[in-house]
Chains A and B, each alone.
Chain A
Amino acid sequence: MNRDSAEVALHGITKSYGGKRVLDNLDLTLAPGELLALLGPSGCGKTTTLRVLAGLETPDTGTVSIGGVDMTSAPVRGRGIGLVFQSYSLFPHMSAAENVAYGLRIAGSSKSVRTRRATELLEMVGLSEHAAKFPGQLSGGQQQRVALARALAIEPRVLLLDEPLSALDAQVRVHLREEIKRIQVQAGTTTLLVTHDQEEALTIADRVGVMLGGQIEQLGTPEQIYSAPHTAFISEFVGAVNRIPATATTGGVSVLGKLLKISNPDSAPAAASGLEALIRPEDLRLTRQGDGLGIVESMMLRGPLTSVMVALQGRCLRVDLPSHEAAEFSPAMRVALSPRRDAALIDSSSTTPRDSLPAAPAHLLSHLGPIA
């Protein structure tokens, strides 16, 4: 069904609003049929990127091409895109089926074609029995499914999803994102997903682009983004991370008594002191040891994983273990910590509240969940 999916390319896109530069010489290419997620904090320019690609905004400089054709100044309706917004985008005066059929009606398809296609698509999103309902009678999740079906009805070459799940409950969100992935694979449409939810991006995207300050910080597979982030910002944005003091030595850094390679030689600070290694909670090994430096402060069950909070040198570190392994630890126990991997991301010491309040640290901050 890989019918019409197109390659999408943005080159050197710059966009400013009232003197503020929102997109800064951005380059982005989507391979035909792939689902690429743009991830970033609010104001990083991810939605503007989508709007530029959709034609809802005109870039100050740069080109947009879809399927090899320059579309930089083409109107929205000529781009062959399907759009799904955060919410409230269904036409309130039309039933679900009419909403889905709208694009075909505009294109002049016959009534029988429209009805058949709308039925088919509503079936695909699992809403056949709600075809006659109006948007106001549907739940938020159902509305977004209809919006997705409506966007797909015109067989777009590119599907643009602008935070489609942000307005939904957590449970619906998880369910629907899997649904989106299934439908996207089935339709084989090149898709750009904009989201601020790192879990959403990591779970369903083929590739993830992390944005900051109008540029793409790192573009890669979810695995690369999570396990081998290029910068401290990405590491902290896409998941929980511990900042552990590190000292520079020849050939790397020493962290918790282990020599590690620096995984980001380009962006690592050159200073020899005031360094921190960024290590994910599941990348720390925890062992019971009578003379260990760490003390177990508290344990937090997170389902299959348990987070063990360990006080170490005035810091509170989080170690994630499979829950059955965590059973052998209990609060106040002395433990030793060591990194599981051979490389770590290095950053200069951040001035987090933890460091500026040395007197208060461990027990208070473990309640605040400093890295949760």
Chain B
Amino acid sequence: MAAIEKLPLVSDGVKARTQVAGGDVVRTAIIGLALVLFFLPLVASAAFGFTLPGQGISFEPLRDALAGTDIATQLMNTAKLAVLSTIGSLVLLVPTLLFLHLKAPNLLRFTEWLSVIPYVVPAIALVAGANLFFRQAAPGFMVSLYSLVPFYMVLTLPLVYRSLDAGIRSIDLRTLWAASESLGAKPWQTLWQVVLPNLRGSLLGASLLSCAMVLGEYAVAALLLHSTFPVFMVQVGMNQPRAAAALSFITILVTWLLLALLSRDSAPKTTSKGGPR
């Protein structure tokens, strides 16, 4: 009797184990497939970009393509745009979000909805509309490279907004603000000494997302006839596909390095936050 009762238990156990093992296999397979699909184009573009038929590995296509161009200028342009748009976004959004969280939390739902609009409006529509208006209103404005900054601030808004909002929500802003104020701090002192140090992670995250987006933005820059690095890459790619592949591979690598660096720096310290125990 006891044996009969035990039997199903045993077979259940065996089944459970095989299921776990089966789950492992499926999981590994899916991850493996995803990794292959992810890295294959990268590796392929590197292989394509850094080889010449019959010569093996070579930097020649890249060198040829870059010779006589002013890639340094394009890179500088893009870097300047990235830095300016990021600073612009932070300067605009950090005080706004802090104010909303402190004084008008009811409006947050509305502003969050507002912040996704750039996702919904395609770049082409944004540019076409702005173009029509500004060419009439301020003809000189669109000529300057820096006219891209406001566009980029709009484009990166959803990402920057979310990153900052999450950071602010993770600290008890109202209490920290009140505590600091009661200890005699003026608003800017509280902002500088208490709030920003505790938002470090989310500030870095927001900056990274904003930079990454600007570094890869093509549509707006191309439509407004500005020469940035992505625009340059597309132009190169038209007649020198190997160089374009090599360049895009390098760009991705650099972006990753940047990301890794930032995420290492912004990793939450174990000492930084804790509740009552």
Contact = CB atoms under 8 A, between A and B. Distances in A.
Interface of A: 54, 56, 75-77, 79, 81-83, 85, 87-93, 102-103, 106-107, 134-141, 143, 147, 150-151, 153-154, 167-168
B183 A106 contact: yes
B182 A77 contact: yes
Contacts of B272: 92-93, 134, 136
B178 interface: yes
B105 to A, nearest CB: 13
Given A134-B271, A136-B270, A136-B274, A91 B176 contact: yes
Contacts of A141: 276
A85 B183 contact: no
Contacts of B179: 83, 85, 89-91, 147, 150
Contacts of A77: 181-186
Contacts of B270: 136
Interface of B: 171-172, 175-176, 178-186, 189, 193-194, 197-198, 270-277
Contacts of A140: 275-277
B173 to A, nearest CB: 10
30 contacts: A54-B178, A75-B181, A76-B181, A77-B182, A82-B182, A82-B183, A85-B178, A87-B276, A88-B275, A89-B172, A89-B175, A89-B176, A89-B178, A89-B179, A90-B179, A91-B194, A92-B274, A93-B197, A102-B193, A106-B185, A106-B189, A106-B193, A134-B272, A136-B273, A137-B271, A137-B274, A138-B274, A139-B277, A151-B182, A167-B276
Nearest to B200: A93
A92 B189 contact: no
A231 B126 CA distance: 68
Contact of A83 (B182, B193, B194, B274): B182
A139 B276 contact: yes
Contacts of B197: 93
B181 A88 contact: no
A248 to B, nearest CB: 51
A214 B271 CA distance: 41
A93 B273 CA distance: 8
B276 A143 contact: yes
A40 B275 CA distance: 26
B178 A92 contact: no
A324 B198 CA distance: 57
Given A82-B183, A136-B274, A140-B276, 11 more contacts: A54-B182, A77-B184, A77-B186, A82-B182, A83-B179, A92-B273, A92-B274, A93-B272, A135-B274, A136-B273, A147-B179
A106 B274 CA distance: 25
Contacts of A83: 178-179, 182
Contacts of A79: 182
A85 B179 CA distance: 8
B181, B194, B197, B272: which has the most chain A beta carbons within 10 Å?
B181
A77 B184 CA distance: 4
A92 B171 contact: yes
B235 to A, nearest CB: 47
A82 B178 CA distance: 11
B275 A87 contact: yes
Nearest to B186: A77
A176 B185 CA distance: 28
Contacts of A81: 182
Given A87-B276, A139-B277, A56 B194 contact: no
A344 B163 CA distance: 62
B178 A76 contact: yes
Contacts of A106: 183-185, 189, 193
A26 B90 CA distance: 44
Contacts of B275: 87-88, 140
Given A92-B272, A140-B275, A167-B276, A154 B184 contact: yes
B180 A91 contact: yes
Contacts of A134: 271-272, 274
Nearest to B171: A92
Given A87-B276, A93-B198, A136 B271 contact: yes
Contact of B175 (A85, A138, A154): A85
A140 B275 CA distance: 7
A243 to B, nearest CB: 38
Contacts of B198: 91-93
A85 B175 CA distance: 8
Contacts of B181: 75-77
